[in-house]
Structure 1
């Protein structure tokens, strides 16, 4: 009903790939051209932005994400330098202006020294202020009350004659010229002050005495909230014209501060001064503009929690190697491959899949480890969440079709199951729904469902096939981990960051060991004792912290013990529930269906399952928070999972119908889950990737989704081909064997878990046409793979790899782009 033919599928993926290639090239020309000054988003941070969430006052600069600065971060950035430690006054941030700037000084002072705000109430309103760290000595920030920028003290600073020049200088004027026009000379005198300020700033920049200089715009006023006297003088149109005049003079305006006050009448009581929270956000913009390069330069490991005024680290050796292989090495091998002896290297098809794999990895790197594409903060919106889930549900209903091979937890049904769960998880991550306990809790159940299928699928295979071969186990682990491991090296992240891969791998090993020990018991009731013993041992290892983390640390693997033990322990029983379900289905399903009271048991099971689901949603919604729920989750999630299994298979119509949209999504669920960290999302899921314009949220979501799904399809096919080559099993033969036996294909991690990779498979000798393939039977089931002729392969590669002019240009061009990303200013 909705399925795409293989030809149409290839065409769609080609279109997506071509679109991404052209887009990256065009944006590269724009982003890294000599005239561009936007690549690190400093200017965008300083001048533009909007409120992504007015309720929580989440400020979104145009194209980058902000860092929330703590007192320690501010101290790292603004602590007095050795040259200033002996000076009595060594301010590093100096505000000069009126009450609007004073409120921003208060916001900064509250970060530097929260105790300071308890004593400031005794200070006169129109007076100078100073705040610092007592343990360090001297001043960190100072405020000079001078709304006209005309005092002797101000003139000394602006003319570079102050005893100590500040590192950061923020000045502002205008409101008092309007409010006291008769005394100050009004707008005419204000223009003279601003014109002189232009010359002063130019002189300070020339002598380099002040590192950062900014001009505060005049804040937007709310006439309805102003007093009668202020309403008469503080005209919004006049303020707008004054700000436009300063901006036209190319002053270093903090225009983002002005954008923050527009349309924010709820954040002011007197119509002129804004709330503490809003001033805190304004100071956050200032700190990100001033401190990001210095503070974040010392934090070069991802995740990069901010992309504003941030220089990404240079590409590591693995990235450079991948660039060389993708741009030069693999294309040459494809071209020259037919001149080599059969079996000396992978087939042309496998080489093309390797090329695709490397190309998509490089695309992911460019998207998330360079400033080429914008990144936005994630924020939760209940209406958007409901809309996206509704659209996904509508898509599933529209693609509902008949599955003639349907049965209890059949392949099509489990593919569909993984598909709709993955869609929900993507929406959940996109909208940062983890902050909402009523959504976080059910999503934890979705992870439990994945693990339930892991236990169920592997146990069914082991009971039916009794195949505990190392070859099959290795294939499963490689297929599960090849993308996660490659991304860990490529993106300089931790393998643990892609937690589903290590989690699934660990449980695969647990199931394999449980069924491998005393395999004769698998056909008797003794298997239940094995499950209980295994569950007890695994629980003890996790509870008593017996994982070999010390060994991993010695091997250089970054592994957070608490995070792993939480991830593993929160669903520690569900895999065994899946195994128990598999044993019941395999050994007793026929007897149960022939029981005289089977129909009655079905009705009661459906009724209890529906009640269980309803009870669960009441239960999880009434917990105090998600942390309280997590303590209950290992014990309540199995009931919900089993209830869903019963309801999904309760009638023949439900068993024999599935959604083709969800099935297609489920086939690449592993790639969707792992690649979302850097392609669908960004900054290791901490932000949202933007491929269009930052303000076009829904259009960007549509474009990113198409590109993301297309790239994951390519990654899925490429990963399967690479694993098949590594295991000396051609993916085409494996797929054919699986189709013939009714087993799932190698489309995702859990599919290959049920795939028999045993004898009678064809090895890949390098000829895609099939004429050069040699059929042979693997002598031992546990053999890892046919021994590769490494010496001959390496020798042939070294002999035939030469400098190809086109490939060399591609490699140098991409290398130059990535290098410029880190040195261009």
Structure 2
């Protein structure tokens, strides 16, 4: 009964929810979400700086997540690079002084908080020519006004950034009187025009007052209540926001510190001043506001404008637009022709007469339809990770965000199981299943940010290398059994592996090596092909019953192993080979091939292992290539020794295994964000629902791209060798043009 219910349940699900209906639903979701985000941008504005300065939440205890964008954690060398020849001024009371200290410590972590508290404090880094000053003005009065007024004069050098704020001192010395609040409002009204004038040439931020923890306040500070602080903040906001009648105020409100303080003020030592971790967060927000638009870090999307379109991106947009228009014209013409050839009814007999027999879909229609779909999908890629239409957020690792989804997919994988068509070791269904569950684990590893947890990182290294092992095993088995070393087979494999990545390199303006896994798989395929194709070609038919041929194969493999070891331990020779043009254009990342050498060397035997004896990533990465073959062989034995285990497989995992390469590549831009550094946010404010919806769309897109690639491979890579050679010549010319355009583009950037 249980088996019957299980079978009927699967059939019911498959009947009402097919892949085609899922894709239609995904398309509708994309259009709806894009419309909602576009309307939200128009209503709330398109300035992510406003979100950074005014909203956010804590992930865990100390990680601050701004609303809708990613915040970069600046290191001291990055901060100095951004602030070269800059002058930053902090004006205000003891809370502003705290913010000043935290800001300076980003530039110089060794800077100490010392000196008279009620005086000006200078800081200067002469090497980087960075100057940061704290000016003690605890009240909004004539003294603060005069300081600001001097900077508004044309002949005086102005700070590039001004951070000001004060109120608690006024509340304290005037015992929280209403008259003091009225005077504060009058004083800030007189200062507002000066701040507005200064804001036209400098970045000016007014820091709203943080709440206090009233139970910890000393007796001489008991009058500083949260009610009074709110009143002073309201006065500052109402005056500064209305300081210009005809346009929006240029003075930016730094109100996010209030939200930070609400969560952390209980950790304060005196109830008034924030704990160090909280003011460090506020200082990092200030650094992001100013520096993101200058340094443009990948994982700092807040305050970053949309990158300008490159020449290749413009050409790609034109090509896909023409493809979409061409397909629509073809479809309209074909539909009209179909209507003319519709069956007509004989009036005498009442029978239908067919004027034309249904013809198969032409290659031209398949080509145009595939390019049309691909163009729309690439538009979605661009909107997700380049156009700033959708939101992005930072990753934050917890054990639950990694292990709970792992358990969930394991249950689903066990639920969907079927009998295999064959029971040999590493049969096709089994390898698809293996690729599928490994790919799902890798995806969860990426979106959960689990690379920060070393044991998980090392286990995933095993999975990546096991995938490479499977790829190598599959290609070796094909050449060994079939003996097909023809150019058609090679071109088909290379096209299927690289088509999506090449398109993404153009559309997303990224180097080929950025999608490192595809270069790895491609290079190892070519290594296996060349090794087996070179004379003498040794295949199963020749080697049957002959030790001589088996010995020859072993010699080939031994020579290959020797070459791999040499290149792995000779970085200079490796870099010389891959630094040659045009190889350098494919394997360089950030101007050198070191990253490619590291990736290639890490999985040079196509496997890796979690080494329990190592204590850090560097040590683990050195140990695992030497011993991890045990892990992969152990899994193969456990999966295949029991006869029952070979006779069943998980169709759920196998389905994902068939599109594993597309899943791995697509995740960079339409599931993750900021080139895998963050998470794509389609539905803000609800992380769980957002993951469900974005995952659903992501899987549908990956499946569609897999079908598009297969369709195009049949058209672009014909079986006829003469036609294939002509097309290869065209493809070679295309890539030469692409490399030339890439070189011109790189020169124009610098």
Query: For residues 484-537 of structure 1, what are the alpha-carbon distances to aligned partners after superposition, in whole Å with 9 as ceiling and x for unaligned?
Result: 111111111111111111000010011111211234544232212211111111
- Answer yes or no: is 1:511 the counterpart of 2:528: yes
The answer to whether the 8 Å contact 2:148/2:195 transfers is no
Change (3 A) 1:216 1:570: same
Taking the aligned partners of 2:220 and 2:194, their CA distance within structure 1 comes to 38
- CA-atom RMSD in angstroms: 2.9
Structure with bigger RCO (C-alpha 8 Å, 6+ apart): 1
Selected match of 1:130 from 114, 122, 125? 122
1:750-765 mapped onto 2 (5 Å cutoff): none
Taking the aligned partners of 1:396 and 1:415, their CA distance within structure 2 comes to 13
Selected match of 1:566 from 598, 601, 606? 598
Change (3 A) 1:180 1:200: closer
1:525 alignment partner in structure 2? 550
Taking the aligned partners of 1:728 and 1:511, their CA distance within structure 2 comes to 23
1:46-65 mapped onto 2 (5 Å cutoff): 46-54=53-61, 57-65=62-70
Taking the aligned partners of 1:350 and 1:727, their CA distance within structure 2 comes to 12
Query: For residues 561-610 of structure 1, what are the alpha-carbon distances to aligned partners after superposition, in whole Å with 9 as ceiling and x for unaligned?
Result: 221122111222237x9xxxxxxxxxxxxxxxxxxxxxxxxxxxxxxxxx
**Alpha-carbon distance, 1:555 to partner:** 6.2
Taking the aligned partners of 2:59 and 2:468, their CA distance within structure 1 comes to 35
Selected match of 2:502 from 479, 485, 504? 485
Change (3 A) 1:554 1:391: closer
Taking the aligned partners of 2:454 and 2:431, their CA distance within structure 1 comes to 27
Selected match of 1:95 from 90, 94, 113? 90
2:427 alignment partner in structure 1? 410
Taking the aligned partners of 2:198 and 2:523, their CA distance within structure 1 comes to 61
Taking the aligned partners of 2:306 and 2:283, their CA distance within structure 1 comes to 24
**Alpha-carbon distance, 1:353 to partner:** 1.4
Query: For residues 118-142 of structure 1, what are the alpha-carbon distances to aligned partners after superposition, in whole Å with 9 as ceiling and x for unaligned?
Result: xx52x211111111123466x7221
2:207 alignment partner in structure 1? 216
- Answer yes or no: is 1:107 the counterpart of 2:102: yes
Compare 554-563 and 538-547 and name the one that shifted more. 554-563
2:707 alignment partner in structure 1? 717
- Answer yes or no: is 1:176 the counterpart of 2:202: no
Taking the aligned partners of 2:199 and 2:80, their CA distance within structure 1 comes to 23
Change (3 A) 1:516 1:789: closer
The answer to whether the 8 Å contact 1:474/1:784 transfers is no
1:122-161 mapped onto 2 (5 Å cutoff): 123-135=115-127, 140-152=131-143, 154-158=145-149
**Alpha-carbon distance, 1:460 to partner:** 1.1
Taking the aligned partners of 2:230 and 2:144, their CA distance within structure 1 comes to 29
Change (3 A) 1:249 1:343: same
The answer to whether the 8 Å contact 1:267/1:274 transfers is yes
Structure 2 unaligned blocks of 5 or more? 1-6, 242-251, 335-358, 544-548, 731-750
The answer to whether the 8 Å contact 2:148/2:194 transfers is no
Change (3 A) 1:207 1:645: closer
1:435 alignment partner in structure 2? 452
The answer to whether the 8 Å contact 2:89/2:163 transfers is yes
- Answer yes or no: is 1:14 the counterpart of 2:14: no
1:729-748 mapped onto 2 (5 Å cutoff): none
- Answer yes or no: is 1:313 the counterpart of 2:307: yes
Query: For residues 421-480 of structure 1, what are the alpha-carbon distances to aligned partners after superposition, in whole Å with 9 as ceiling and x for unaligned?
Result: 111111111111111111000000001110111121111111111111121011101110
Change (3 A) 1:484 1:266: farther
Taking the aligned partners of 2:617 and 2:318, their CA distance within structure 1 comes to 46
Give aligned pairs, total: 669
Change (3 A) 1:440 1:788: closer
**Alpha-carbon distance, 1:538 to partner:** 2.2
Q: 3-state SS of the aligned residue for 1:643?
A: helix
Taking the aligned partners of 1:640 and 1:461, their CA distance within structure 2 comes to 24
1:255-654 mapped onto 2 (5 Å cutoff): 255-265=255-265, 267-296=267-296, 304-333=298-327, 335-336=329-330, 346-522=363-539, 523=543, 524-526=549-551, 527-545=553-571, 546-547=573-574, 548-552=577-581, 556-557=585-586, 558-559=588-589, 560-574=592-606, 620-654=611-645
**Alpha-carbon distance, 1:51 to partner:** 1.4
TM-score, L = length of structure 2: 0.83
Q: 3-state SS of the aligned residue for 2:89?
A: strand
Change (3 A) 1:49 1:412: same
The answer to whether the 8 Å contact 1:103/1:279 transfers is yes
The answer to whether the 8 Å contact 1:334/1:348 transfers is no
The answer to whether the 8 Å contact 1:471/1:784 transfers is no
Taking the aligned partners of 1:509 and 1:21, their CA distance within structure 2 comes to 41
1:40 alignment partner in structure 2? 47
**Alpha-carbon distance, 1:177 to partner:** 2.5
2:661 alignment partner in structure 1? 670
Query: For residues 728-747 of structure 1, what are the alpha-carbon distances to aligned partners after superposition, in whole Å with 9 as ceiling and x for unaligned?
Result: 26xxxxxxxxxxxxxxxxxx
Taking the aligned partners of 1:486 and 1:127, their CA distance within structure 2 comes to 59
Taking the aligned partners of 1:263 and 1:6, their CA distance within structure 2 comes to 47
The answer to whether the 8 Å contact 1:167/1:211 transfers is yes
Taking the aligned partners of 1:357 and 1:161, their CA distance within structure 2 comes to 54
The answer to whether the 8 Å contact 2:324/2:375 transfers is no
Change (3 A) 1:636 1:195: farther
1:601 alignment partner in structure 2? none
Taking the aligned partners of 1:790 and 1:112, their CA distance within structure 2 comes to 54
Selected match of 1:701 from 674, 691, 700? 691
Change (3 A) 1:701 1:129: same
The answer to whether the 8 Å contact 2:213/2:272 transfers is yes
**Alpha-carbon distance, 1:186 to partner:** 3.3
The answer to whether the 8 Å contact 1:96/1:146 transfers is yes
Q: 3-state SS of the aligned residue for 1:481?
A: helix
Taking the aligned partners of 1:18 and 1:62, their CA distance within structure 2 comes to 25
1:811 alignment partner in structure 2? none
Taking the aligned partners of 2:536 and 2:287, their CA distance within structure 1 comes to 63
2:352 alignment partner in structure 1? none
Taking the aligned partners of 1:538 and 1:369, their CA distance within structure 2 comes to 38
Change (3 A) 1:136 1:460: closer
Taking the aligned partners of 1:207 and 1:224, their CA distance within structure 2 comes to 39
TM-score, L = length of structure 1: 0.76
Query: For residues 632-665 of structure 1, what are the alpha-carbon distances to aligned partners after superposition, in whole Å with 9 as ceiling and x for unaligned?
Result: 1112221101100111112222112222221111
Change (3 A) 1:136 1:507: closer
Taking the aligned partners of 2:584 and 2:457, their CA distance within structure 1 comes to 34
The answer to whether the 8 Å contact 2:69/2:300 transfers is yes
Q: 3-state SS of the aligned residue for 1:661?
A: helix
Change (3 A) 1:265 1:394: farther
Taking the aligned partners of 1:254 and 1:97, their CA distance within structure 2 comes to 14
**Alpha-carbon distance, 1:250 to partner:** 5.2
Taking the aligned partners of 1:268 and 1:669, their CA distance within structure 2 comes to 50
The answer to whether the 8 Å contact 2:217/2:271 transfers is yes
Taking the aligned partners of 1:354 and 1:406, their CA distance within structure 2 comes to 39
The answer to whether the 8 Å contact 2:320/2:375 transfers is yes
Compare 275-284 and 320-329 and name the one that shifted more. 320-329
Taking the aligned partners of 2:237 and 2:48, their CA distance within structure 1 comes to 19
Q: 3-state SS of the aligned residue for 1:51?
A: strand
Structure 1 unaligned blocks of 5 or more? 82-91, 297-302, 578-615, 730-777, 792-825
Taking the aligned partners of 2:650 and 2:266, their CA distance within structure 1 comes to 47
The answer to whether the 8 Å contact 1:116/1:131 transfers is no
Taking the aligned partners of 2:657 and 2:394, their CA distance within structure 1 comes to 28
